[in-house]
Every structure is written in C-alpha cells, then in structure tokens.
Chains A and B, each alone.
Chain A
C-alpha cells in the first residue's frame, strides 16, 4: 500500500471502472473506493425461476421497502434505510441507486446510443440553455474506443440523428418487433434494432449472449457490459489497481495550494474514518453522489465558484406508453421472445432540423417497442372471466403481448431543479444526505403528450389492441396494502397530490448538478470533466451534462470519462 497513490477513483461503475482501466494502463497506481460490497457473481447471478423463490421474485413482504429491485437482484441495489435522501414538498422523484462493486451496470438496460450534434448544440438551435463545450467530432473517437472494447450489438442505419458506431451484428428481431418495424416503415418513421452493450458473438475473450433474458438480474456469463466482467479485470491485471470495497467516501480533502490532497472515507462495517492521499482525484460515484461529495467537501460546495453546483438537475422524462396485444400473433406457439430483453428503437424524428421543427415544444424523445412472451402475464388478472376459457385466452394473448415505451425524453435543464445537503438528515454513517428539489416544466409535459400520441399511432398502425395495465396482488409491491406503497424516503412529495398535473416519471438517467461549460462562470467542469476550480479534481458521470439529450446517457458518460482520462494522463506527464 503506497503512502500516496497516483490517483484515487471514487466509484466502480461504468465511468469509475473505465477510468481505473485507462489510468492503470498508463502506469499509474490507482486506488478505487467503492461504497458497497464486493458481490459474488457466481452466487448472486445464478438464474432462478420464480417458483424456485419462496416469494416468487417479490421478496418477503417488507424486504423491497428497504431495497429497490426484486427478490432476484436486490443485493445489487442499495439499502434505502441506510442510505436515505429527502425531497422538497413538491418533488416526486425516485432516485434509483446501486451500491456494490460494478454499480448500476450490473443490472442496466444496456442501451448504448451515441448522442448527435443536434443534442450537443441544441441551445444554438432553439435558444434554450447552454451548448455543450464539446461537439460530436470531439467525442466520436471516444465513442469508437469504448464501443470497440465493450462490444455493442447494433445495425448501422445512416440516420443523422442516431449516429452509427463500431458494431457487432445486431440481435435478431422477434415477431412483434418485426411487425412494429413494418409499422414504422408504413408511417415513414425511422427504426432500428435496439443498440445494446451485449455481445452477439465472442468479443475480447467474452462469450456471446445466451438469450436467457435475465439481464437485469446480473449476467451470469459477462456477455453484457459491466465492470466486473469487462473493465476491472484488465485494470487488475496491471497490478496497479487496489480496490477497497465497503469504503464510503465522506469528503475530499484539500491542501493549501488549492489542490485535492485525497479522500476521507468511512468503513461501512467498522465506521472508522480513513484518509488516503493521491496526486489526482476522480469522482465517479454516480451523478448525484458526486455532487453530494463536492457539497460535503467545503462550505458552499467544493469547486463552486460558479455557484451552479447542485443546480440544473435533470432526468429524462418517462411515463406514458401503450401496452396490449398484436392480434396477428394471438394463439401462436410459445417462443423465446424475451430472451434478449431488447426491442426496436425509433429515433427522434421531430425537432431534429428546421424541417421537423415543432411549434409547441422543443427537443425530443426516442421510443422503443417490443412484444411477445414474457415471464409473467401481467395482463392476466385484468382479463375478464375465469375458468378454462379464461386460461385459453390468457395463453392465446401471452405470446401476442406488445408495448411501446419512451426510451429517453429530453427534460429541460432548470436552475430551480437542484440538490443540496439536508440540514438535518444523515445516513447510517452520520454523513448528511441529499435533499432533492425536482419538478417538471411545461415543455416536459407537452413532449410526453406528443410521445403518447405517437405511441398510440404506432400501436394502431401495427394493428394493436390495447389492454388494461397490470395489477399487483395484495401484499406485494404496488398491490393493495403493500408495504412498498411508500418506500422509505423515496421521493413522494407531500404536495404532489395537489399538483395541477400528474407527476411524470424518470428514467434513472439523472444528469446535471455539476455541468460542464466553456466559461467557469457557467458551470463546474470544463470540457474534460476537470473542475474549473481545482486542477487535479475530475468528475465523471452524468453531472457534466448541460442537457439530457434524448439518448440513453451511459455511453456518453463513458466517452466523456475516457476523454477526461486522456487529459488527466497528458497533464500528469507535464
């Protein structure tokens, strides 16, 4: 254990593990601090059928009040009792988190999309907010590098709003996806295979997907990108990476020369405080945890000369969507439709240029569609009737299920959506927690209404028949009398019920709160995700985003991290 590391990386998810791989690859001695435990994939990721679990995947009643997720994956989620957060009265926001080695990429949706210049430079086009200080040309080499390494299955299409990359063969389409593709063609809408960090052939020593459909419970062979299968092994192989799990970063320590000296962390079990020093400090603990650390590290927030730290919080707009059946598929044979948990993507086709400009809202959204057999027939309890005829009808519809949902809808950045340290509430280790102030604006509502209309139009064109939404049984999450009805501090503002409009959902794509900017007056980070104020402090994650864009954010977060690592390595060489 060196007295001083070349770099400390806080967090082991998509960005942190990439940084560890890049920095150790450049010869640096790196210490990685992970707040959660080292999990055992061989034990945790073994696939089970619901009937093998006592509570059929829902967990012992009360368990999921403490953890998000399901009985199959709650161990890779966060303990909400130990790690609370608070919200302002008008806020309805559920902050989805993981705390374990590998972070949220252990159960992510794997969507791996490049952003385009109409997103990076949106402010120049419609006058709202600020442009990103990088363009597609700046980020493209890093998209290439990451896609080449992690493996992305997709089809190159040539859509300017959905830039192509370096792809493995796409996942095949099931019958419902084929019908939706035909419907898109008929409507004149673009569509393509969903782009996924999931292998369709062996790649860099990893096996391809075996189409079991258990992605969100942790991939048991490492066919989908996650740090413990992909980025941490080569970093460990250098012999220059030390990983300390169960180590909760509490603050960044500064020296008299305005440089970060290191991190103070608290042992998760021991609750003892430990100081570690490094020449470079990289925060990659997830968007809001990064900001929390900056807020904890100095009165008024570290690296906050702009006064924008914590502000402009965003999450891509969710909610709405359509579900039902495609009559063409009704009564067909049982097929492995959900073995890839994928679908098709319908890239934005409005507000992408002057010809497609809408007068009633700015920015846009991406849709997904899929269908066919799923593990549990969510619709069945709402299907009228009972008896043998009802059973036959359930089976007949089971293979014909279909749905259209919003993959990512751009939420406009607003200064009055922000996070701060709660003055009273602390976590299990005595560290102040975040208080979230988060509401949606008019544009967000208009955008989601447009999505809803388009989703229904697509469903009708595909010949779809709508069905009522799912019903959860009593005693289970979401069901009558459910103990999970009001999860612990999971963001249901007291005034939300009196709001004039129903709350919109989020996408677990939180962004902003330490945005990048050309001028130090406008943001916390420069275009390399280096803080404007502290030269040896970098922040990797969604913090940097000046706007959400309409693409899933992980690939762009990783690309910015890779670009930042190049800058850090170059700076370290002098």
Chain B
C-alpha cells in the first residue's frame, strides 16, 4: 500500500460525520509507522547490553551453546540475534518477581559445567550438545544435563524467532505491514482432497 493509498483512505475516513475527534488523529498518527512498508531495524538494546545475570564464564558458555543450537549459516543465527544477551536480560529482570526462573538457570549452568562444557574446545562442545540432545529423539535415552539442553533450547528459540534476525531475515515473516489486498490461495491443488 502506497502513501497515496493511505492519504486517500484518510480523506475518506475524515469525510465521515462525527469521526474527526477520534478518528482523524488516530488514522494519521498511525500512518508513519507503516507508510514505507518496511520492517524497522533492531533496537540497540542488546548490541550494547553487558551481561548482568550470568558471570563471564557462564555467559561465554551460554553464548557458545546458543550458537551451536542456532548457527549462522545461509541465514543469521543466535549470534546475530544476540540470544544469550536477551536471555541474560530477561533473567536479570526476573530476579525479584520470578526467582525460581533464576534458580533453574543457575542449576542448568552448573550441570553444563559439570559435564565439561565450559572447559571443552569448540569441536568437543558440539559432541557434548549432541549427547545432551539424544533423549529428545531416542526413547529411553537419558542424560544428566538434558534439562539444561531443553531450557536453553526453549529460551534460545524464543529469543531467536522474536528477533529481527530470526523473524524477518530467517523466517521472512510478512505480517505487521500495510497491504492493499490479502493474498488469496491461488492453488487449484488445494481445492481438492486426495
């Protein structure tokens, strides 16, 4: 939808009897946010963020773990999305109202350290994560730090796919924009059931 389309709609709306008080300011105020049809850049919060919840060792381990889970490949990964920073940011903000969340994460980091993740070289870390993840696919498999894998995976997934890198660049999300029409299904094969 172009700026001209928006101005036409605004003029149409303002012609309505009695609509001016609420509606005029409303519509016009909403226009700049979407008039160009592009997704805004990521704010600087996480780029400039210094970890507060985790100590330096744990944060480095967490950062490495998140990047193994969601690597940078043809599309951005956890590194570009600053996933570890976001996790630290949320946990720091949770400390008073949700201390249980903080305890879980400290326990997870202790478990990670206990199995040697912190001290391991890069290639060995990949092997450690692979072992930790086995119960996810194999019935009957167990690992003492599986809960840590799940916890990091859950929060990392959320951090990544709500970031600009994950949502816009990796998933190519199309919503939250102004559109003149809705794209109807135009696939004949979808109109029949096999």
Q: A209-B182, A210-B1, A398-B171 are in contact. List 4 more A-B contacts (CB 8 A).
A: A61-B93, A173-B184, A228-B26, A385-B136
A497 on interface, CB distance cutoff 8 Å = no
CB nearest to A238 among chain B residues: B18
**Measured CA separation A387–B75 after assembly (Å):** 12
**Measured CA separation A233–B18 after assembly (Å):** 5
Please count how many residues in chain B sit with their CB below 8 Å of the partner chain's CB atoms: 91
Contact with B along A337-359 (1 / 0, CB 8 A): 11110000000000000000000
Pick from A233, A235, A394, A474: contact of B154, CB below 8 A.
A474
B115 on interface, CB distance cutoff 8 Å = no
A569 on interface, CB distance cutoff 8 Å = no
A482 on interface, CB distance cutoff 8 Å = yes
A475 on interface, CB distance cutoff 8 Å = yes
Pick from A49, A340, A461, A481: contact of B182, CB below 8 A.
A340
A118 on interface, CB distance cutoff 8 Å = no
Given the known inter-chain contacts A178-B187, A398-B171, please indicate yes or no for A221 contacting B17, CB distance below 8 A. Answer: no
**Measured CA separation A173–B187 after assembly (Å):** 11
Interface residues of A (CB under 8 A from B): 41-43, 45-52, 54-57, 60-62, 65, 171-175, 177-179, 181-183, 185-186, 202, 204-214, 220-222, 228-229, 232-238, 328, 334-340, 373, 375-377, 380-381, 384-388, 390-391, 394-395, 398, 461-463, 471-476, 479-483
B125 on interface, CB distance cutoff 8 Å = no
Chain B residues with Cβ below 8 Å from A474 are 101, 104-105, 151, 154-155
Pairwise interchain contact B190-A178, C-beta atoms closer than 8 A:
yes
Q: List 14 A-B contacts (CB under 8 A).
A: A46-B30, A49-B39, A50-B162, A51-B43, A205-B15, A228-B22, A334-B171, A386-B69, A387-B69, A391-B73, A394-B171, A395-B171, A473-B154, A474-B155
Chain A residues with Cβ below 8 Å from B177 are 212, 336
Pick from A202, A207, A386, A475: contact of B70, CB below 8 A.
A386
Chain B residues with Cβ below 8 Å from A57 are 162
Minimum CB–CB distance for A394 against chain B, Å: 8
Pairwise interchain contact B190-A41, C-beta atoms closer than 8 A:
no
Pairwise interchain contact B191-A234, C-beta atoms closer than 8 A:
no
B127 on interface, CB distance cutoff 8 Å = no
Minimum CB–CB distance for B53 against chain A, Å: 11
Chain B residues with Cβ below 8 Å from A380 are 157, 161
Given the known inter-chain contacts A174-B183, A385-B137, please indicate yes or no for A42 contacting B68, CB distance below 8 A. Answer: no
Pairwise interchain contact A480-B104, C-beta atoms closer than 8 A:
yes
Given the known inter-chain contacts A174-B185, A233-B16, A234-B17, please indicate yes or no for A222 contacting B167, CB distance below 8 A. Answer: no
Pairwise interchain contact B176-A212, C-beta atoms closer than 8 A:
yes
Pairwise interchain contact A229-B23, C-beta atoms closer than 8 A:
yes
**Measured CA separation A65–B97 after assembly (Å):** 10
Pairwise interchain contact A473-B176, C-beta atoms closer than 8 A:
no
Give residues of chain B (1-53) contacting chain A, Cβ–Cβ below 8 Å: 1, 9-10, 12-23, 25-30, 33-34, 39-40, 42-43, 45
Chain B residues with Cβ below 8 Å from A336 are 174-175, 177, 179, 182-183
Give residues of chain B (149-194) contacting chain A, Cβ–Cβ below 8 Å: 151, 153-155, 157-159, 161-164, 167-168, 170-185, 187, 189-194
**Measured CA separation A334–B168 after assembly (Å):** 11
Given the known inter-chain contacts A61-B93, A183-B193, A381-B158, please indicate yes or no for A45 contacting B30, CB distance below 8 A. Answer: yes
Q: Give the 6 A-B CB pairs with smallest separation, nearest first.
A: A205-B16, A237-B18, A42-B29, A62-B97, A172-B184, A481-B101
Minimum CB–CB distance for A461 against chain B, Å: 6
B61 on interface, CB distance cutoff 8 Å = no
CB nearest to A223 among chain B residues: B9
B94 on interface, CB distance cutoff 8 Å = yes
Chain A residues with Cβ below 8 Å from B1 are 210
Given the known inter-chain contacts A47-B34, A391-B73, A475-B98, please indicate yes or no for A463 contacting B182, CB distance below 8 A. Answer: no
Chain A residues with Cβ below 8 Å from B26 are 41-42, 45, 220-222, 228-229
**Measured CA separation A172–B184 after assembly (Å):** 5
B133 on interface, CB distance cutoff 8 Å = yes
Chain A residues with Cβ below 8 Å from B111 are none
Chain B residues with Cβ below 8 Å from A234 are 17-18
CB nearest to B103 among chain A residues: A481
B60 on interface, CB distance cutoff 8 Å = no
Interface residues of B (CB under 8 A from A): 1, 9-10, 12-23, 25-30, 33-34, 39-40, 42-43, 45, 68-71, 73, 75, 77, 86, 89-91, 93-94, 96-105, 129, 133, 136-137, 151, 153-155, 157-159, 161-164, 167-168, 170-185, 187, 189-194
Given the known inter-chain contacts A233-B18, A386-B129, please indicate yes or no for A50 contacting B167, CB distance below 8 A. Answer: yes
Pairwise interchain contact A482-B137, C-beta atoms closer than 8 A:
no
Chain B residues with Cβ below 8 Å from A472 are 154
Minimum CB–CB distance for A571 against chain B, Å: 26
Pairwise interchain contact B183-A335, C-beta atoms closer than 8 A:
yes
Pairwise interchain contact B185-A173, C-beta atoms closer than 8 A:
yes
Minimum CB–CB distance for B126 against chain A, Å: 9
Pairwise interchain contact A211-B182, C-beta atoms closer than 8 A:
yes
CB nearest to A181 among chain B residues: B191
CB nearest to B126 among chain A residues: A387
Pairwise interchain contact B191-A182, C-beta atoms closer than 8 A:
yes
Chain A residues with Cβ below 8 Å from B180 are 210
Pick from A60, A232, A335: contact of B174, CB below 8 A.
A335
Chain A residues with Cβ below 8 Å from B23 are 206, 222, 229, 233
Pick from B91, B179, B185: contact of A177, CB below 8 A.
B185
Pairwise interchain contact B155-A207, C-beta atoms closer than 8 A:
no
Given the known inter-chain contacts A233-B18, A480-B101, please indicate yes or no for A334 contacting B173, CB distance below 8 A. Answer: yes
Q: Which of B129, B137, B190 has the most A CB atoms < 10 Å from its CB?
A: B190
Given the known inter-chain contacts A61-B97, A236-B21, please indicate yes or no for A462 contacting B193, CB distance below 8 A. Answer: yes
Pairwise interchain contact A386-B174, C-beta atoms closer than 8 A:
no
Pairwise interchain contact B167-A51, C-beta atoms closer than 8 A:
yes
Pairwise interchain contact B176-A222, C-beta atoms closer than 8 A:
no
Chain B residues with Cβ below 8 Å from A388 are 71, 73
CB nearest to A173 among chain B residues: B185
Pairwise interchain contact A202-B12, C-beta atoms closer than 8 A:
yes
Given the known inter-chain contacts A228-B22, A387-B71, A463-B194, please indicate yes or no for A206 contacting B16, CB distance below 8 A. Answer: yes
Pairwise interchain contact A207-B179, C-beta atoms closer than 8 A:
no
Chain B residues with Cβ below 8 Å from A42 are 25-26, 28-30
Pairwise interchain contact B133-A386, C-beta atoms closer than 8 A:
yes
Chain B residues with Cβ below 8 Å from A185 are 193
CB nearest to B164 among chain A residues: A51
Pairwise interchain contact B91-A475, C-beta atoms closer than 8 A:
yes
Pick from A182, A208, A220, A235: contact of B190, CB below 8 A.
A182
Minimum CB–CB distance for B24 against chain A, Å: 10
Minimum CB–CB distance for A192 against chain B, Å: 15
**Measured CA separation A209–B168 after assembly (Å):** 22
Chain B residues with Cβ below 8 Å from A208 are 9
CB nearest to B163 among chain A residues: A51
Chain B residues with Cβ below 8 Å from A394 are 161, 171
